[in-house]
Structure 1
């Protein structure tokens, strides 16, 4: 892109051919983790080669799991408000570093008026990209994301048998790990999520998807052998964002 495309402004709106909007705050630490991985995955040699982004991080969006499982307040209006804010600021594509938020994906695309990169599609795409050979895939996620079913549907469509943690592990390991990260106790979450992953591996999982954006933070707190078979959905979304940006900017670069 030329400098005029990258830096021009019109009425407070950034005018660019490709500008990534990040609908964040669900939770804040997960949003920061996504941004760090986006920078890490971008093949840039200098500042100007990084992806231009706008971040909307509002932690007051209603709880996604409560809305899915308990018919609580829908987060859809608040998420749409965020997308419209990003669109008004010039965003041309949206990413949402929150797995359970994708329960409302179709509504967000239809009513938000912008393309959205789906985190589950991004994660599933990593199996082929990394040459993962697996018949059985373990899925670690919140109860809300599991109940939504979109990850299982996509894994099934790719030919994988999906297994999840037992109800006991969900309550004793997965949920406490997520809650620990949300209160910024990443170290306290590490052993819990590693045990949850190991239990899935013991049940036959040959690969494991970390399908809650808090979980990779806990997993990466310290090295662990089982990390070699894990797919980080947050990093997968960052890689999909880089691929989108490279594709969107290809015409400009060829000129």
Structure 2
């Protein structure tokens, strides 16, 4: 569901826990990216950080229980808290986006649309865009379809790179071994850059934690961070006067 700034919702709900560190990092980035001079200038956020939600990638590949019932319970918790819109800082969860939106009276922000907005913010308006993510996100074409509709040419990592590099990087973040995640994430980014990518999407919310902002200048290709992209989209919606003032 597309949102417009004229709706001007006031309170943000966050369906997190997928993984827990990504949900917490998203809430932190909302605060850090919001132009504010006092506590009262910030966006009220209600975070439901539920790590019991079944694994989205395993379910998407047909190998585990569906996360949909647990995600719907989380949405109902947020709606009961009178949130005006909801962000889900998990890329693979968006494979169930339509079903989730159908169960929520509050509109949901879409993380892939947010990433496309961030590509344009960085001046990447066309060309090849590499995608990193979970096996389900890549195999089920979550980003590819949206990128093509927006005029980009998506580049996927090989099956081997997904399982040898992306999966270990994501798993290391989930184990709170963030420093171990950098090397495989770096290699996977470099492989996409070597294929001519004009930008690379960190399309799992563990991957921006694997590749911290302080190390992104080491790469020869722009990176779009799905945590920050979603946070910027939420801020633009909830605080439209702050557009263009992101730190």
TM-score between the two structures when normalised by the length of structure 2: 0.90
CA RMSD, Structure 1 to Structure 2 (Å): 1.8
* Distance in 2 separating the partners of 1:85 and 1:205: 40
Cα distance in 2 between the residues matched to 1:160 and 1:135: 5
2: CA distance, partners of 1:124 / 1:212: 15
Structure 2: which 5+ runs fail to align? 1-7, 243-247
Q: Secondary structure at the match of 1:116?
A: coil
Q: For 1:1-255, what aligned pairs fall within 5 Å after superposition?
A: 18-220=10-212, 223-224=215-216, 225-226=218-219, 229-247=222-240
Residues 1:156 and 1:113: Cα distance change in structure 2 (over 3 Å): same
| Higher mean displacement: 16-25 or 50-59 | 16-25
Contact kept? 1:209, 1:230, Cα under 8 Å: yes
CA contact (8 A) 2:27 2:47 kept: no
User: 5+ unaligned residues in a row in structure 1: which ranges?
Assistant: 1-15, 250-255
CA apart distance, 1:227: 7.0
SS of 2:215's equivalent?
A: coil
Contact 1:190 1:222 in 2 (8 A): no
Q: Secondary structure at the match of 1:54?
A: strand
Q: CA 1:33/1:17 → structure 2, altered by over 3 Å: closer, same or farther?
A: closer
**Are 2:17 and 2:50, in contact at CA under 8 Å, matched by a contact in 1?**
yes
1:13 counterpart residue number: none
SS of 2:83 mapped into structure 1: coil
Q: TM-score, normalised by structure 1?
A: 0.87
Q: Is contact 1:140–1:165 with CA below 8 Å preserved after alignment?
A: yes
Query: In the TM superposition, what is the alpha-carbon distance from 1:71 to its structure 2 partner?
Result: 4.7
**Correspondence for 2:3:** none
Counting matched residue pairs gives 234
Matched with 1:4 is none
Structure 2: distance between partners of 1:17 and 1:114? 10
Larger Rg computed on CA atoms: 1
What does the per-residue CA deviation read over 1:183-216, in whole Å, with 9 as the maximum and x for residues that have no partner?
0111001011011001100011110000000001
